[in-house]
Structure 1
Amino acid sequence: MKTNILGLPVKETEEIANDLNVLLSSFQVYYQNLRGIHWNIRGKRFFDLHVKFEELYNDSQLKIDLIAERVLTIGGRPLHTFEDYIKNNKLKVGKNISVDEEAVHLIVTSLSDLLKIEREILVKAGDINDEGTNSMMSDFITEQEKTIWMMKAWLEEKI
């Protein structure tokens, strides 16, 4: 089996880089969704949600950078055009959402869809002992599961 400089199998690592690019694309759409609901939110909960949505989009921006850098670290090339993001995105695009519950539901759905992608990457990275990718996915999953729990509590819904 041919390995790269990191000691990871080349073919499988290329596949993980491609999967990370799907995650990157989906995170870019998630980020834009968050910006949109941050700008457009209306109603009596505006002040609380406006701040929360900003916190979430700032966090997603950091994660976008981490994903792109991981793609580079394992020998891939991160996608960086809107055309590629739309083509590879796995999330619903939220448009003109200004109602609080609709905005929070979009976040929950988006995070759930991101978790599916991350869990697939986690399994593949675990299969080849790619601890760097595995660790990043584990961290993302832990944070996003907690955010889903909090958003569901805000919605007064069970997990």
Structure 2
Amino acid sequence: MDRANIIHDLLDWIETHLDQPLLLDNVAAKSGYSKWHLQRMFRSTTGHALGSYIRERRLSQAAQALRSTPRSILDIALQFHFDSQPSFSRAFKKQFGKTPAVYRRTPAQGMTEASPQSSAQQPNYHNESPNLHLLYNGKCTDGKCTQWMGQR
């Protein structure tokens, strides 16, 4: 199995486990590589750091939950494995430019929802932030996951 396929499978696995603890050691064990080698391989294939990718995906899922459910911000923060509401709020504001409470109250017009978009065969993983707009639609070729949409 080549590197791109390994990372593709790992991305699919991460996406289905975002609401579970994803310690780097556990992700590395899933991949069968050391955490150091996996991080180098992930960055060289996707162009993104593994830990940052997981955090950004969790925050995107949390943003979707903020807009689609009446659950408390604390409940959503804990669901996506943030230690506290303040740490969640800091990370959320850093990624989206506004606090979770403000984000929840802001109409979604003109913004692409931070949620996976369905596809007939392969998933699209979408991540929205002020500086980064990631869209991974499950395609890796020539050792690179090339379907990342670039910087805004």
TM-score w.r.t. the length of structure 1 is 0.31
Structure (1 or 2) with the greater strand fraction: 2
Instruction: Report which structure shows greater RCO (CA 8 Å, sep ≥6).
Output: 1
Name the one with the larger helix percent.
1
User: Whose Rg is larger?
Assistant: 1
